[in-house]
Structure 1
Amino acid sequence: MARAAPSLSNDDIAARFERLYRACYQDLLGFALRRTDRPEGAADVVADTFLVAWRRFHEIPPEQARAWLFGVARNVMSNHRRADRRSAGLAERLRQELTQVTTVEPEVPEEIRRAFRSLPESDQELLRLVAWEGLAADDLALTLGCTVNAARIRLHRARRRLAAALREPSLNR
């Protein structure tokens, strides 16, 4: 009857993983850099490879860990390429679809348009979210990542600045 391998403590596993990482990182990075178009892509491949290695640490053959990691890296690159192809296909379909879409800006008198454009971008966005997108205060708060009270205060201030801009003599030509 075969004996079960002695179980390792979490500290032992972490130390062994760190040694594996230090021993193989540069080799895997070079491998990925030679096979990807962008350094960020290579970094992603290496990171995902070591993530798989961490999750499946007990499956790594001790005498062939480096070769095992290269096999994982090849699979990770294949997965990344498939995801890139799917993403590119989806982006192309979306581009085709968006060529058929037309946007309609509301009819606004020129003096209001000028006053609106004179506001800070943050005020313009708040007012657009409410006027064009129809968001209520609670929806606005969620969109902005703030409390409902803070959203109401920001909206109130933006409206006040718009009213002040409308009263500016330079806009009333």
Structure 2
Amino acid sequence: MNHAALTALHRAHYPDLVGYFVRRGAIDDADLLAAEVFVIAWQKMPSGLDAPRPWLFGVARKVLGNARRSHDRRHSLDVPIEDGPDDGDSPRITTHSGEVAFRVDLQRAWNSLGDDDQEILALTAWEGLTARQAASVLGIRRAAASMRLARAREHLREKISAPASRVRRATSGRSAPVEKETT
């Protein structure tokens, strides 16, 4: 790949790759990781790619995995320090807004998904890739990516609706207190 082609590729896709890393929690290292993707592109990008974006995201996925494994190795001997008891002075979120509750439920549901489900959903929802492009990133067939995407969406729907059903089961036969939202 020549210098002009790499420069054009960098201009077109660098912000997307930084966003990819940020959305996956690598906020402090996003620029460095994106730069690493372009070093690999300079060295190994196949010539004649019609759409380099999925290939770049495939490389980004591997770069992120390597970075996480390196981080885990470096910090495997760290001793976790637990937070002390609540002293009552720390600020607390006291809103009962439906939007906040939904976001919390969505975050919990997202965190409970497997890595494969999170990755296919993130590639299609956050990165705007099609199922075919996500298949290319993941190194699987398009049909497999479509099935994985459908299953991941269903898992997410189930996990979002699961807390409400557990609450209904837990309170069935008993009267549960009702909290009114104050405005």
Q: Which has the larger radius of gyration?
A: 1
